[in-house]
Amino acid sequence: MGLLVEEAVRQGMECFKDQDRDMAQTVISGDDAINSMEDELCDQCALLLAREQPVASDLRHILAAIKIITQLERIGDHGVHLAKKALILADQTYIKPIVDLPRMEEIGRTMLVDALNAYVERDSEAAEEIASRDKQIDDLHTQVVREVLTYIMSDTSKISQGVELLYVARYLERFGDHVKNICEWVIFSERGEHADF
């Protein structure tokens, strides 16, 4: 599921940057597989809870898995949102170079891969470090918002596209937040502590 989600976000950003309608449709249609995996994995966790009645660390691992599955599904949705915005803006010339948005996606995707590795390896210290990287995404988000608002204020004909770009920036900012949440559940799974980054 992590691989599918990673690819959905990567392709979502790529089709947005390149204004690729075909790839956008691929991302949108691929969301069903991610949603199905969410249902299947949550059902498996529920069966474990019912049949095995786990306690202590085993229970924490299952609860964390359910929470991480939900975060992954939400990240996949953000990939779909990027693809939908790509379709809306496919015929327009962008009002600014699309540089910072792909950078936000790249940082988030690297965080995602590392967070899932931390989960598999049960590495709560790595999870803490990974969560701290979200500040880079937040800083880029602030920069993009400032730049887009400047473009809009200088030319009101750019308002419509500017709003769409602000949505894209917000999706990518939320992507980082979801990965940070995964890191928090990795820490809970291993330490039994609720981290709040």
All domains of the chain in start order, with CATH: 2-191 (1.20.58.220)
142 vs 131: CA distance, rounded Å: 18
Predicted confidence at residue 149, as pLDDT, reads: 96
Predicted confidence at residue 197, as pLDDT, reads: 80
Predicted confidence at residue 196, as pLDDT, reads: 84
Q: Would you call 19 helix, strand, or coil by DSSP?
A: coil
Predicted confidence at residue 99, as pLDDT, reads: 96
User: Closest by alpha carbon to 172, among 131, 126, 136, 137?
Assistant: 137
Predicted confidence at residue 173, as pLDDT, reads: 98
| Angle at CA of residue 129, ends 127 and 132, nearest 5° | 110
| Angle at CA of residue 177, ends 174 and 182, nearest 5° | 130
User: Closest by alpha carbon to 190, among 100, 125, 132?
Assistant: 125
pLDDT in tens, the chain (197 residues): 999 999 999 999 999 999 999 999 999 999 999 999 999 999 999 999 999 999 988 999 999 999 999 999 999 999 999 999 999 999 999 999 999 999 999 999 999 999 999 999 999 999 999 999 999 999 999 999 999 999 999 999 999 999 999 999 999 999 999 999 999 999 999 999 998 88
Tokens read off for 169: 């920036």
Predicted confidence at residue 174, as pLDDT, reads: 98
Which residue type occupies 90?
A
138 vs 81: CA distance, rounded Å: 19
Q: What is the pTM of this model?
A: 0.95
Residue 46: alpha-carbon gap to chain centroid: 25
Tokens read off for 142: 């602030």
